[in-house]
Amino acid sequence: MTMEQAKRLAQQKSKDPHTKVGCLIVNDSGKVLSAGVNSFPTGVDDSPSYRWVRPTKYNYVVHAELNAIAEAASSGVSLRGATCIQTLFPCISCTKAIIQSPVYTLNGRKTPEEYLDEHIQYTNARATRLGFQSPSFRKLPNLIALAMNIASVPYEYLPMIKWLGEGAYGTAYSANGLPPEFHIAMYKDLQFRTGDPDCHFEQCVIKTALVKDKKAIDAFVRESKMQGLISLETYGPVSGKDLVPKICYAGILFGGGMAISIQVMTRAPGDTLHAIAVRQNGLTATQYVAVEKTFVSMWSLGFVHGDSHANNILYDVKNDKVTIIDAGMTLLLPFAIRDAVRSFDPARYPGLEIFARTIDHLTHGYIQDYNADGKMLATYLKWVLPEERKLVNRLRYEAWQQRMARVRRAW
């Protein structure tokens, strides 16, 4: 559903002779759930021309966004997870209505900054912008809409993109079936870019964040390159592309008075380790050993993740596969420690116990405020269900003996 259709709705249905506004609310497949234009309340006579003259009309007109939300409510249509497409940036009253509704995507003709620049003299405009910056509005994945606006990507692709979640440094969206045209249009205006827009991912994740200064730009570029570097590394049977999502392309968009970082990567399967532990009231021995093996594998490639909290670890129960996301705090290990990890004897020591303290000590000065790998693995070991704890050492030995045998053959 495109902006042009919302404009057409406004021109056809709105009787306001000065400002015609249209609003469409669509679901993730592009189906229209509700529509509205700026109009008088139902039953109120809108034929007298004086009623459309400012400031008199302000006493009568119901804005398009509010009409669309009211129409859905009166017909019993759920707007949960829907996208609101409107031809004019909303006022503060409509902003509050959108925040209170289940609608989670806002898609306007202009960015908040562009609208604010044009209407800076109005308190209404400033209040609207503050409303969109409030914590209660964070459920709206408006960053991707703003990025598409800056890159001149058609809004018809927006229903293919769904909000996944937010972290401390960005918002993640999942996308299914985006055509090459989307990636080419998004990539062409990126600065500090890396990768290639020639993506062939049926499913991908788009991570966005507001970038406020040069330090943030440097951190973003470093994270993108580090994640790409991990995915290229191999050692015997261990391949970095199996440990982290593959970066397709990344860069920064500048426009509308803002800078937005864009990372497009493969979609990692599974749920977060935190969600699994909550659902099961703990972890099984198999799940824990798979997580430990993944981190020791990363160490053997020469990397320390450094922010290994349970929401940065995805576990695919069906395939017993672990993927680590968010390489923003990843550090390179000294070659001596990396080689020591590669040569340990699992028959005598599990990787966690022999290397975790050394690795945490080496990285403490850099990532002391984050979730050091060894510290978090020790925490996850405590999450193992009581009846499963006796299995951990046996599964460790079996998993690592198998891995070390393959590595020795590779030598």
Q: Which residues are catalytic?
A: 65
> Which value, to the nearest 10 degrees, does the dihedral of the CA atoms of residues 169, 101, 41, 10 take?
50
Q: How many CB atoms lie within 10 A of CB 343?
A: 10
List the one residue out of 67, 79, 87 whose CA is nearest residue 32.
79
| Collapsed DSSP state (helix, strand, coil) of residue 246 | coil
Cβ atoms of 187 and 249 closer than 8 Å: yes
In angstroms, the CA 373 to CA 362 distance is 11
Residue whose structure tokens are 């809409």: 145
List the one residue out of 231, 234, 239 whose CA is nearest residue 266.
231
Residue positions counted in the chain: 411
List the one residue out of 259, 171, 167 whose CA is nearest residue 210.
259
In angstroms, the CA 67 to CA 61 distance is 10
CA separation, residue 28 to residues 33, 104, 157, 165, 306 (Å): 10, 11, 10, 16, 36
What b/e string do you get for 306-335 counting C-beta neighbours within 10 Å, with b at 16 or more? bbbbbebbbbeeeeebbbbbbbbbbbebee
Handedness of CA 210, 213, 214, 215 (dihedral sign): negative
Cβ atoms of 197 and 178 closer than 8 Å: no
List the one residue out of 328, 330, 333, 329 whose CA is nearest residue 362.
333
Residue 362 backbone class (left: φ over 0; alpha: ψ -120 to 50; beta: rest): alpha
In angstroms, the CA 262 to CA 366 distance is 25
